[in-house]
Amino acid sequence: MVISVNASVSSNARLLGAALKALLALTALTGVLYPLAVTGVAQGLFPGRADGSQVSAGGRVVGSSLIGQPYDLPGGSRPDPRWFQGRPADGLTENTLNTRYRLLVSGATNLAADNPVLIRRVEDARAAVARFDSVPGHPVRPSDVPADAVTSSGSGLDPDISPRYARLQVRRVARENGLPVDRVRALVDRHTEGRDLGFIGEPRVNVLALNTALGALAAKG
């Protein structure tokens, strides 16, 4: 009896050893060789994209075309009326671990549709956007404000807005930059991307690209 227990203990140990060796061999293949090979090829073929699609303007990096960012007045927290605004990002937080860095932690609000907190937020955002984007002679009604303008995205980093929300902002942006409304509207149209291949996803406007072009337009006068 004792002998057979010992035998099964040692055979279990042998099996575990084999399992560990299999895992280490597969780690070498899929955890070292594979990511290095993919990194090598990706960095060779499309380095800009593999490094995060950074965009430069006026000789300096102004962000990533894929990552949304705030366009606030200096001091933060209040939107700068000169620029097109992105979506709310109430789910976005800063890191609470490893706090020698200041990293953005992506995320959604995860609030339920019937949560009073979310209902209040959406109502407030609708009123705020309507106020912010109204110009004398052209008031924006809360019912004109599209859904993406008053909801937080899944990542908190949505780089896009809907073409409707971009057009809603045209008069305010034109007025603040001293530009003709038609030229700003044409700029929005030029930066409106259709669905991929005509049917995948939704039409959208990349806010960073739009604001970069707007900055160039405003500088020319």
User: At residue 33, what is the residue type?
Assistant: L
Annotate each residue in 47-76 with x if it binds other proteins (CB under 8 A) or - if it does not, as one string.
--xxxxxx--x--xxxxx-xxxxxxx-x--
Is residue 48 within 8 A of residue 54, CB to CB? The reply is yes
81 forms part of the interface with other proteins (CB under 8 A): no
Contacts (CB under 8 A) with other proteins, residues 122-161: 122-123, 126, 143, 145-148, 150-161
Binding segment (CB under 8 A) for other proteins, from list 128-136, 168-176, 184-192, 193-201: 193-201
Residue 92 or 179: the one with the smaller Cβ distance to other proteins is: 92
Of 11-19, 132-140, 172-180, 184-192, which segment contacts other proteins by CB under 8 A? 11-19
Under the criterion CB under 8 A, does residue 87 sit at the interface with other proteins?
yes
* Per-residue burial over 70-109, b = 16 or more CB atoms within 10 Å of its CB, e = otherwise: ebeeeeeeebebbbbbbbbbbbbeeeeeeeeeeeeeebeb
Segment contacting other proteins by CB under 8 A, of 87-95, 127-135, 168-176, 182-190: 87-95
CA distance 97 to 21: 34
119: enclosing H helix or E strand: helix 116-133
